[in-house]
Copies of this chain bind each other. A is one copy, B any other.
Amino acid sequence: MSTITLLTDFGVHDEYVGVMKGVILGVNPSARIVDITHHIDPQDILQAAYLIPSYCPYFSKGTVHIIVVDPGVGSDRAIIALEMTGQFFLAPDNGVLSLQLDSGTADSLVRIDKANFFLEPVSRTFHGRDIFAPVGAHISAGVDIQKMGTSIDIGQLVRLDIQKPRFNKRGELIGTIISIDRFGNLITNIRLNDVNQILRSQPETKLIIEIGKSRVQGISESYQGAESRNPLAIIGSRGYLEIAVNRDSAQDRLKLEKGDMVKLTSRQ
């Protein structure tokens, strides 16, 4: 049995996800389908782009990751299949794979264009059903992606302009809140490496994290690392710096939102 994951912005109130699963099982009855989430904000390519490298490493080789966050459905945007570290990614060519591509080396990359793998007639409104589902199912059944399209170069892909943390003139690291999870943890775009870079350049100093009107000192090892109701900083499960409040919501406590700034400095 091979696994297919689904990441979409379809929500779960309509029949769209169920229809995709029906099509997948029609092509590959032994496929095992895992929902990652269908609650990507409608057409929010960036949100999906950040999520992909967070779940892929936990799936086996051979897994097919279908991503349908696709505001350009029905236009001439391409659909691409990527083979990377033994897994497959099927997504619109709209930049949604930008961060995944940064995380390793592509083994194979095609623009999907062989209509014999599609569900005919192909609509111009629901490629999830008509292209992504059947093509993903064929990949999971062992069809070589090279047989389903035309090889392209990684340089030809649409890439998002991913805002990375940057150092300002005073040597402070400026990052951004990129996501807030269900617990109200504020997930930034700052990685452990970035933090270490500060600490290595200025040993014997203490890390200060400024976020909104709050100031946190040092990185905690766990959510219990601060007094109740006080914010703490922690390297979260995605590998990014998060601001959290033990047994409470940092989002509610600090009144911060996606896009808000976080500043890292060091003090002796």
Contacts and interface: CB of A to CB of B under 8 A. Distances in A.
B182 A22 contact: no
Interface stretch (A70-78, A106-114, A144-152, A200-208): A70-78
Interface string A228-245: 000000111100001000
Contacts of A63: 22
Interface string A13-24: 111111101110
Nearest to A15: B55
Best-surrounded residue of A30, A38, A182, A236 (most CB of chain B within 10 A): A182
B223 A58 contact: no
B10 A34 contact: no
A5 B126 CA distance: 21
A52 to B, nearest CB: 9
Contacts of A214: none
Contacts of A105: none
B39 A18 contact: no
A42 B125 contact: no
A36 B18 contact: yes
B182 A13 contact: yes
Interface string A112-131: 00000000000111100100
Interface string A47-61: 000010011001110
A37 interface: yes
Interface in A209-268: 221-224, 234-237, 242, 247, 249
Given A74-B223, A75-B222, A12 B25 contact: no
A26 interface: yes
Contact of A19 (B16, B23, B42, B55): B55
A3 interface: yes
B25 A55 contact: no
A72 B73 CA distance: 41
B125 A223 contact: yes
B14 A125 contact: no
A259 B56 CA distance: 42
A143 interface: no
Given A75-B222, A75-B224, A25 B59 contact: yes
Interface string A165-176: 000000000000
Contacts of A51: 15
Contacts of A224: 72, 74-75
8 closest cross-chain pairs (CB), A and B: A74-B222, A11-B182, A126-B237, A22-B58, A18-B36, A124-B222, A22-B59, A15-B55
